[in-house]
Amino acid sequence: MWTWFFQLASPKWVFQFIEKLLPWFRAITLVLFIAGLFLGLLYSSLDYQQGNTVRILYIHVPGAFLSMFAYVLMAITGAIGFIWRIKMAHIVSVSCAPIGAILTLLTLISGAVWGKPTWGTYWEWDARLTSYLILLFLYLGFMALHSAFDDRKSGDRASAVLAMVGLVNIPIIHFSVEWWNTLHQGATISKLEKPSMDADMLAALLTMIAAYQFYFLTVLMQRIQGEILVREKLTGWVRKLVIASK
């Protein structure tokens, strides 16, 4: 077990391990997206109030879930790198940020498109929307702070601190609909005893969440590989890899 743990700290081993996983993750991502889009667009029921507009749910909710998951992962790996000075932890943390930012932006845009016919407005400064906008600023701030340092190690540590501090925003986003009066609806699939949606809608939503999850992991692994190559470009194994690819 400890051997495997120490291998996770080796950029070369992680790069090679990811190379074996990527084809499987790409295939699973494709299958899940096809199944999720079929279920969401063609099979699931219409909402009795929103009609076809409700289908934005299958883009909006998975994006929201994964954007917060990505931030938690970024903060945890940043903390591991900061405390134990593990290079691979910083690589994972830095690789999460652009993906999380894009997912957050997608969620904000899809939420605005959904909000116009549902609430009559694209945007409202309520607790859920405002705290979620802060999440986007945290991602952008993380990337800007990391790139502001010429010394990569200093950038890793400074951005890790920002990620750890910003982690307090995640429970605020999650519980904002319970703590404050907000336009945003409450939880649906978290109510396991009695889900607040039809079974066919729930199946489509869970499939899309799984598709987003595998998409996130696939892109994350690709970004980790790229980050490893940049940081390890002077090592012998990377030089051999570059020569072999020509």
Residues 191-230: tens digit of each pLDDT: 545 556 788 888 999 999 999 999 999 999 999 999 999 9
**Rounded Cα distance, 16 and 21, in Å:** 9
Residues in the chain: 246
Radius of gyration of the chain (CA): 20
Q: Name residues whose C-beta falls within 8 Å of residue 226's C-beta, 6 or more positions apart in sequence.
A: 95
Nearest Cα to Cα of residue 8 among 18, 21, 22: 18
Mean pLDDT computed over 134-162: 97
Neighbours of 7 (CB within 10 A): 14
Residues 171-183: tens digit of each pLDDT: 999 888 777 767 6
Average pLDDT, the chain: 90
What are the C-alpha distances in Å from 144 to residues 43, 71, 139, 148, 159?
43, 15, 9, 6, 9
> Torsions phi, psi of 191, nearest 5?
-85, 80
Residue 48 has pLDDT above 90, yes or no: no
The pTM assigned to this predicted structure is 0.93
Q: Name residues whose C-beta falls within 8 Å of residue 8's C-beta, 6 or more positions apart in sequence.
A: 14, 88
**Rounded Cα distance, 44 and 203, in Å:** 8
